[in-house]
Structure 1
């Protein structure tokens, strides 16, 4: 830890409450991140109407979701570093401009190509705004309860955005038009841009380093191919050559990236950062936390509709209980971290999540399981967000302010890769047991989900040991 970091970590912790200026700045950052979280899922329900109106064939509809996810995951590490070099506030505001423009284009689209271009713009804006917003939060507050509270609020609202996106998309599509799923973003981006220009501040950069262009290109290509492979696995299965070819390409680019970083005078990802156990293992824990909970939502959606025969609307409302749990978990996480430390919060959250998920292995085709499912999914949602906020605090703690953009870029990358990875893996388990029956496949996938959460807890407990108190 540098002297600057030591000074920050020993600042009085009485400033647990936000000042009015900090509260206003946090409002802008939280509003932007919530909106981008909603964008991940808001068009899911609207895909059939979009396809009919714009002329998408059925096989191409998934690219409306994939185009966004690929760009959001692929460019986040690059833009995290750009935030460090050019300024977090500047990148945040530029991302909002891109979000607004792309959303106008999407709302007015009349052809598939224009709509997909708009989704590419929205995904790229997400890769710009999310790490910049997180970096502004982590540099706004010293390590401790105030930062944990800020990250807890962010986690709670982003979780709420992920879970409420489909519901909001359904309401807009059914009530007015799917185009309003785009136009809402324009109003949010404009408001955040106007207010953020005046209330957001960041520490002055001491020196301006050069961007590692080769490192940026190779890691972006590696992440792009990785997400394409994950998406292909979800659509055509893990045994298809179309699935494994992108993974091979991704591995090759990751090797090139590692070689480029060894030779770069100012590497995109300094080896000293990745050598921090909290950064490396914290991000792995976060990836697994996102992969397990988002894929569990998929499994429970299939269970409620295909096994218990609930309507899509009823199933969505029932899973809203899980969303409430995640919001509560984000609000409770700072208290847990304040008492036991961020690494131990990951362990506790993952253990409770596993304990809440495991009983669902025994779920049957009897509707009496609906009430236990609601209770267990609520508890699992609370625990999952405690683990997620714990990983963000762990992975950004002790990192010098000049590298916070990169650190939060890594956090965002692990989050988005986890979201993309979880569902295809669980879907493959369900498909592998299709001959036995759908319920048996769902039970096996839920059991694997619980075991991954438990393994995450064990891994963090072993590798990170006794964490220091926040």
Structure 2
């Protein structure tokens, strides 16, 4: 590759490091799921406190992604990435050393803050290193592979480490990996040019971060207390008020956190709407599937983790194939087909049995879901950053990660509430009731993904920019979403 501004003489090494940074973020999202019973007894957590081991990370991560993306554009993407990795690694180490529930939950929240800096900065640096064209498509394929594989690998690694050395090592392992990525980032990732000059929108950042915090807190609390709980409704009302304030602040600020130009090029709005719907099922999959394997099929943490390997393998294969399929049939058709494949896998899971087995109930749909999920993720990420000016790539990366996280929080809250309701009302033995709840969750997830597939051609077409835009400036990048089959 010709060395230019924004590129590096070793793009492969830079991509490997940046993909490693994204992998650590996704790994931390799911690695605790299998170990929650051991973590609960290890630091004396209550039932509600156990859920906050997961929620504290997701809450901080989802609420601060926009701020992390904007900071990367204004202060330097490499600098923010290094700072995020440092905080993430230190917080992971602190989580593993925690002896009280308060210390552990605080460390998990600090992990989320670090992740909110890592994810958008790393994606923006990928866009800097790989200019529009086939190279960027392949790079996003790698990005998709590690993103999906990180979620599956988290369940696997969490099971292996918990059974072999105890739950603390799930955090120690993440800390070691993060510090290795930090060192490699300093060595192989170039400083990105084109950082925008301007004043950081502190008021806009504060209002939208608090709004997202209130929204995600309300959603996660609703899973435990119900949708009509006074505190839950109050959190939703506060989120709505703060979002209105955010809009008013943005209209007056000279350098707004979400500049209008971000939505006037490419298909940013369409991509983020679809990513939110897509994300609403993603997180729920890695929540319900391990629970079914452990609570219904009786698998150990290690066996449950090993059961994620076919899904992870299919995910990596799909991400590798995504750019080739897109060039052949068009990106819109690729996304639609991938989403329908994922929906088929979810529908297959909705037929699980309380007396089934991994081979008959989990293996086949896991492979189908892994292929569809990975291909859709790669193409939706490309759609969400298409045509974005270089000075806004960090923010665009933060936005697409935010919509996926918030969509995931909404989807998980709704699906867990519905699954619990079905389980509580189901007659018969406890395992049959549990399975009924999980079947309901997977069936609704299949319906959501099917609806997303049907919306894809409509939104992609409507989101196509008119007149001279960044699409004409970067024809190779735009061609994938202009052509449909």
TM-score (norm 2): 0.87
User: For the residues of structure 2 that align with 1:240 and 1:94, how far apart are their CA atoms?
Assistant: 39
Q: Secondary structure at the match of 2:208?
A: helix
User: For the residues of structure 2 that align with 1:122 and 1:32, how far apart are their CA atoms?
Assistant: 13
- Matching residue of 2:467: none
- Matching residue of 1:279: 268
User: For the residues of structure 2 that align with 1:118 and 1:299, how far apart are their CA atoms?
Assistant: 25
Contact preservation (8 Å) 1:28, 1:196: yes
User: For the residues of structure 2 that align with 1:332 and 1:352, how far apart are their CA atoms?
Assistant: 14
Match of 1:105 among 91, 94, 101: 94
- Matching residue of 2:384: 395
User: For the residues of structure 2 that align with 1:360 and 1:171, how far apart are their CA atoms?
Assistant: 25
Alpha-carbon shift at residue 305 of structure 1 (Å): 4.8
Q: Secondary structure at the match of 2:186?
A: helix
Q: Secondary structure at the match of 1:62?
A: helix
Q: 1:241 to 1:275 in 2, by over 3 A?
A: farther
User: For the residues of structure 2 that align with 1:151 and 1:418, how far apart are their CA atoms?
Assistant: 21
- Matching residue of 1:375: 364
Contact preservation (8 Å) 2:268, 2:385: yes
What CA deviation, in whole Å up to 9, does each residue of 1:183-230 have, x standing for no partner? Answer: 223322332222222321244236511111111111101111111112
Match of 1:455 among 443, 451, 455: 451
- Matching residue of 1:420: 409
- Matching residue of 2:21: 32
User: For the residues of structure 1 that align with 2:333 and 2:191, how far apart are their CA atoms?
Assistant: 30
User: For the residues of structure 2 that align with 1:168 and 1:187, how far apart are their CA atoms?
Assistant: 14
Alpha-carbon shift at residue 276 of structure 1 (Å): 4.6
Alpha-carbon shift at residue 292 of structure 1 (Å): 1.6
- Matching residue of 2:172: 183
What CA deviation, in whole Å up to 9, does each residue of 1:20-54 have, x standing for no partner? Answer: 71111112111121112111122233333333333
Contact preservation (8 Å) 2:284, 2:412: yes
Q: Secondary structure at the match of 1:204?
A: coil
User: For the residues of structure 2 that align with 1:183 and 1:445, how far apart are their CA atoms?
Assistant: 33
Q: Secondary structure at the match of 1:265?
A: coil
Q: 1:305 to 1:183 in 2, by over 3 A?
A: closer
What CA deviation, in whole Å up to 9, does each residue of 1:370-413 have, x standing for no partner? Answer: 42642122112201111111110001111010000000001111
323-332 or 308-317, which deviates more: 308-317
276-285 or 128-137, which deviates more: 276-285
Is the counterpart of residue 342 in structure 1 residue 319 in structure 2?
no
- Matching residue of 2:114: 125
Q: Secondary structure at the match of 2:10?
A: helix
Q: Secondary structure at the match of 1:399?
A: coil
Residue ranges of structure 2 left out of the alignment (5+ in a row): 428-432, 465-477, 481-485
User: For the residues of structure 2 that align with 1:302 and 1:53, how far apart are their CA atoms?
Assistant: 20
Is the counterpart of residue 78 in structure 1 residue 84 in structure 2?
no
How much is the aligned-residue C-alpha RMSD, in angstroms?
2.6
Contact preservation (8 Å) 1:88, 1:405: yes
- Matching residue of 2:469: none
Q: Map 1:69-218; keep pairs closer than 5 Å.
A: 69-205=58-194, 207-218=196-207
